[in-house]
Amino acid sequence: MTTFKSVFKQYNWNEIKSKIYQTTTKDVENSLAKSKKNLDDFLVMISPAAQPYLELMAQKSHELTKKRFGKTIQMYAPLYLSNECQNICTYCGFSLDNKIKRKTLSDSEIKLEVQALKNLGFDHVLLVTGEANYTVNINYFLNAIAQIRKDFSIISIEVQPLSQEEYERLHQAGVYSVLVYQETYHQEVYKKYHTKGKKSNFDFRLDTPDRIGKAGIHKIGLGVLLGLEDWRADSFFNALHLDYLQKTYWQTKYSVSFPRLRPAEGIIEPNFIMDDKDLTQLICAYRLWNENLEISISTRENEKFRNNIIPIGTTSMSAGSKTNPGGYVVDPQSLEQFEISDERSVAEITKIITERGYEPVWKDWDRTFSQTSKVKSLKENSVFN
Ligand code: SF4
């Protein structure tokens, strides 16, 4: 059975890194002039040589995003269900070796948290847990989804890698998208960051999106944890992964996120600093390479960056996020997975989006379009007209 692993093994980290850093001005100008860009052009656009062209890239990224997605930002919120975890990841507050109070939300606590999110206006929820297979497993997820399904149009999930059969069950239960980040594609150092637990199996994680694609989940979200290794090389491999998935599971939609390493209880300092300009360059490169890609910006990022990146390529944003189980109402003081950077309220963030001339969107378009009676009125009011 072919999976991404067989593609990945044809590439060498050091060779890709050298290629990125040896890119010339002429390479950049050639790539930017092309109407349809391939993976080689993506590599060129994330190079240091492309930095002087950032303004031009940002303008093109803005135009392409507006053409494909309109002036809209999809709104979502994470709902942390559990901070139990059997893995040691050196960058995470939930790591097994951190002596924190562990908590998994009960049915009644989930209801309270859901009500808090509904009161804030959310219709898209991202369920998040650590990796504790004995307690927070497929049965726990299915039970939680059954409880909240009627409350949200979109349910996304970011949990431990599962089997294809388990993803099929999530799909049937109503899960719309699954997020799984490789963290780093640098296989040799991966083990250094993931010292204990199932997550230390690089290959199993690498082939997880294949299992999600085969299970027929509507959307797959990828990303790397920016700050662990050279962001340019890691992002090339993330794009390579996306490229393979899009060609293999072509009916699936894709999103990419850009988590930069944030402070958390007991974690390491970033090995590689990625500043706001670098992140803007990366977002533009993704957009210029791939018009259809959804680009998500979380509250890990600071206020100023989030304000400025709205018109440049973003398609979805979280707001008012809590990264601890029970963080909205049940147990607001419990330890968070990482410190969020943008602490503004949902109302403040939607105001900024509106002031930028964009419309915060709370409801999923796909499901609405499947209801024939609503199609006509939506067409009449569409932001794409
Ligand atoms: S990153 Fe995930 S798997 Fe690793 S310690 Fe944190 S919650 Fe557990």
pLDDT tens digits, 215-253:
999 999 999 999 999 999 999 999 999 999 999 999 999
Dist CA 80 CA 105 (whole Å): 9
**pLDDT band per the 50, 70, 90 thresholds, residue 336:** confident
Instruction: Give the closest residue (by CA) to ligand 1 atom 1.
Output: 92
> Could you read off the pLDDT of 37-72 as tens digits, one per residue?
999 999 999 999 999 999 999 999 999 999 999 999
User: Could you tell me the pLDDT band of residue 1, with boundaries at 50, 70 and 90?
Assistant: confident
List the residue whose alpha carbon is closest to atom 5 of ligand 1: 95
Q: Report the alpha-carbon distance of residue 91 to residue 228 in Å, rounded.
A: 9
Is the pLDDT at 373 greater than 50? The verdict is: no
Q: Are 258 and 31 in contact (CB under 8 A)?
A: no
Amino acid at 232: R
Please list, in sequence order, all residues whose beta carbon lies within 8 angstroms of the beta carbon of residue 238, skipping any fewer than 6 positions away: 182, 185, 222, 223, 224, 256
Has residue 75 got a pLDDT over 90? Answer: yes
Q: Is the CB–ligand 1 distance for residue 87 below 6 Å?
A: yes
Give the pLDDT score at 367. 52
Q: How far is CA 281 from the centre of its chain?
A: 17
Look up residue 224 and give its DSSP letter.
B
212, containing H or E segment: helix 208-214
Q: Which residues contact 185 (CB under 8 A, 6 or more apart)?
A: 8, 13, 224, 233, 234, 237, 238, 241
pTM over the 0.75 mark:
yes
Look at residue 289 in the predicted model and tell me its pLDDT.
98
Q: Where are the domains of the chain?
A: 4-381
Mutate to test the pocket of ligand 1, among 85, 194, 323 (most ligand atoms within 8 A of CB): 85
Q: Is the CB of 85 under 6 A from ligand 1?
A: yes
Q: Does the C-beta of 207 come closer than 6 Å to ligand 1? A: no
89 pocket-lining for ligand 1 (C-beta < 6 Å): yes
Q: Which of 134, 196, 199 for a ligand 1 pocket mutation test, highest count of atoms within 8 Å of Cβ?
A: 199
Rounded to whole angstroms, the Cα distance separating 60 from 54 reads 10
Binding site membership of 159 for ligand 1 (Cβ less than 6 Å): no
Q: Cα separation of 132 and 169, whole Å?
A: 19
Looking at residue 363, its pLDDT comes to 80
**What pLDDT band is residue 334 in, cutting at 50, 70 and 90?**
confident
> Cα 195 from chain centroid?
23
- Paired tokens of 44: 């060129």
Whether 41 is in the pocket of ligand 1, judged by its Cβ within 6 Å, is no
Grouping H, G, I as helix, E, B as strand and the rest as coil, residue 317 is strand
Given this model, what pLDDT does residue 80 score? 96
Percent of the chain with pLDDT over 90: 85
SS3 371: coil
- Residue 104 identity (one-letter amino acid): T
Cα 118 from chain centroid?
A: 22
Atom of ligand 1 nearest to the CA of 86: 8
Give Cα separations from 115 to 87, 100, 147 (angstroms): 31, 26, 12
The yes/no answer on whether domain 4-381 falls in CATH 3.40.50.1100 is no
- Six-digit token string for 179: 């997020």
**What pLDDT sits at residue 364?**
60
pLDDT, mean of residues 366-380 = 44
